[in-house]
Amino acid sequence: MIERKQIFVDGQWVSSSGQDVITVINPATEEPTAIVPRGTAEDVDRAAQAAAAAFESWSRTPVQQRIDVFTRLARVTEDRADEITRTIVSEVGYPVKWTQRSQTAGAVEELDIIAECLREISWVEQVGNTQVCREPSGVVGAITAWNAPLRSIISKAGAAMAAGCTIVLKGAEVAPLTSFIFAEMAAEAGVPAGVLNVVCGTGPEVGEAIASHPLVDMLSLTGSVRAGQRVMELGASSVKRMHLELGGKSANIIFADADFERAVVDGIEDAMRNTGQVCGGLTRMLVPRQRLKEAEELAVRKAQSYVLGDPLDPATTLGPVATAAARERVRGYIRSGLEEGVRMLTGGPQPPEGLSRGYFVKPTIFSGDNRCRIAREEIFGPVVVIIPFDDESDAVAIANDSVYGLAAGVWCGDTDRARSIASRLRVGRVRINGAPLNKRGTHGGFKLSGVGREWGRFGIEEFLEYKSVIG
């Protein structure tokens, strides 16, 4: 059992003003794995005051100094890679091999990218007799997600610090331990006191206190649409700048001339990564009507190949969902699909055989249309709906028929045609023929998927304001 008894404010580990704690549960065993302080609004006030006091000096540090800090932070993260991997596995239940590659190595990569991209930003541009300057937004309230706990912190607190902002960070209460580790690593890398402050706690207590605090200039949240709406509502009273990365229900369009088997298998892998707990997962698979049966067979074969079990076992390829509530919600969606008469091809709401403990859900494939609830709402679990289309226009219409607009995939034998189709999709990111993600590009969406972008130079610029100096 890990016990974290203090929060991080103004460069020091100090006691929370609250007396309550949050118990972190291992989703694979359903056993307590850690206890952390349950922070309060008073804690947030102390953190915000520290961040506001540190802003003047940190915002004026030379860019090279911030580059050096983030380069050191990447190396410190490498040194603690094994600990970070074990922590994430225990908090969220990701299989260890996936955690090592995607979460831990991915965090190091993103820190290095931040350091590199700081050199690419045009901090001052001459426009006639005017200097257009880019300056940090101020104190940023960062409310991060549990499904990629360290990488979410880096995309928000990391990018904002790189821009010259100071931070009040609330790590996710489901997976808070990496926020403590990040604070330790930041201090070791040379982040000055007050630049990063960490208060763990619940959304209604700590999250809302951050969102409404008068010293917080900007809010950055990854979470549900409901959480984003609440943060927007609270921040509106003081007209805070908003950066919101919310939900998704992304379509994967597979045309007949694509490498069909590879496209279907890759699509299932994308949707099932992190047990389907990814906002950009391609959870709607769109296929030509005449090849529906083939797609169904390929998808079922892939779904049934997953090995569920202990996430520390290298043989495990699919872990549990993060909480008991998440397990019941996902199983509820599966039941709703059955109640609506959607054809289930594999999986189901029953517990997986041989797994009496842990928040496990069977990888489930449905074949239906875009009208059913499971095709329209974000499930955030290992559930995919296969939907047939008649022609290109029909495929684009189905893909765009969603309140979300985060991501999409297009598989097509003609790359130029695929790019043309991508231009018609109202989403923030389109992968063509399974191209790997480029973290120097952008991540973010249209519609209910949010406001603003993360990753690379663009993610840092999200935390900058323009100033004109004339004469």
What is 217-259 written as a DSSP string?
-EEEEES-HHHHHHHHHHHHTTT-EEEEE-----EEEE-TTS-
Distances (CA, A) of 257 to 254, 347, 396, 413: 8, 29, 16, 5
- DSSP state, residue 437: P
Please give, one letter per residue, the 3-state secondary structure of 138-196: CEEEEECCCCCHHHHHHHHHHHHHHHCCEEEEECCCCCCHHHHHHHHHHHHHCCCCCCE
Spatial CB neighbours of 16, under 8 Å, sequence gap ≥ 6: 6, 7, 37, 38, 39, 40, 43, 199
- CA nearest 140: which of 164, 165, 163? 165
Residue type, 204: P
In whole angstroms, what is the distance from residue 258 CA to residue 274 CA?
26
- CA nearest 217: which of 256, 174, 165, 264? 165
Tokens of 340: 């609506």
- Rg over alpha carbons for the chain, rounded to the nearest Å, is 22
Catalytic residues: 245, 279
List of E strands, 273-351? 284-288, 343-346
In whole angstroms, what is the distance from residue 225 CA to residue 428 CA?
16
Phi, psi of 300 (to 5 degrees): -60, -45
Helical residues (DSSP H) of 366-422, grouped into ranges: 373-376, 392-400, 415-422
Residue 60's beta-bridge partner residues?
A: none
Burial of 68 (0-12, 13-18, 19+ CB in 10 A): middle
Q: Which residue in the block uniquely carries the two structure tokens 């359903």?
A: 30
Distances (CA, A) of 17 to 201, 393, 460: 12, 58, 33
Contact 409, 395 (CB under 8 A): no
Tokens of 116: 């590199």
Q: How many CB atoms lie within 10 A of CB 353?
A: 8
